[in-house]
Amino acid sequence: MPNTKSAIKANRQNIRRRERNLERKTALKSAAKEFKKLAAAQKKDEAAAALTKLYKTADKTSKSNFIHRNKASRIKSRASRLYTKTFTKA
C-alpha cells in the first residue's frame, strides 16, 4: 500500500493511465482484426471502410505516443499491402 500522499496520487494516475492504454490497445487490435477478417472474406467495400478506420486508429495511437510512429506506419503499410494483394486482379 502507498504510504505517502504522492504515492497515493501516483497510484490513482497509474490506474487511470492503464485503463486508457487498454482502451487504445483494444481499439487498435480490434480494428486490425476486423480489417483482416473482411479482407479474407473478399468484401471489398467493407474492407475499404475498415482500412480507413484502421488508419485512423493507428494514427491516433501514435499521436498520443501509445505506439511509435514507425509502428503505426508499419501497421498501415501491411494493411495496405494486404488490401492491394487481395482486391487487385493479377
Domain tally for the chain? Answer: 1
CATH of the domain at 36: 1.20.58.110
Model pTM score: 0.86
> Which is it for the CA torsion 21, 55, 46, 89, positive or negative?
negative
**Domain of residue 21, residue span:** 5-87
In the block, cell 486508457 appears at 20
pLDDT at 90: 54
pLDDT at 1: 79
pLDDT at 2: 81
Per-residue pLDDT tens over the stretch 30-75? 999 999 999 999 999 999 999 999 999 999 999 999 999 999 999 9
Report the pLDDT averaged over residues 10-26: 96
pLDDT at 74: 98
- Using alpha carbons, list the distances in angstroms from residue 57 to 3, 8, 24, 48: 39, 32, 8, 14
Residue 79's Cβ-count burial label (10 Å; 0-12, 13-18, 19+) is buried
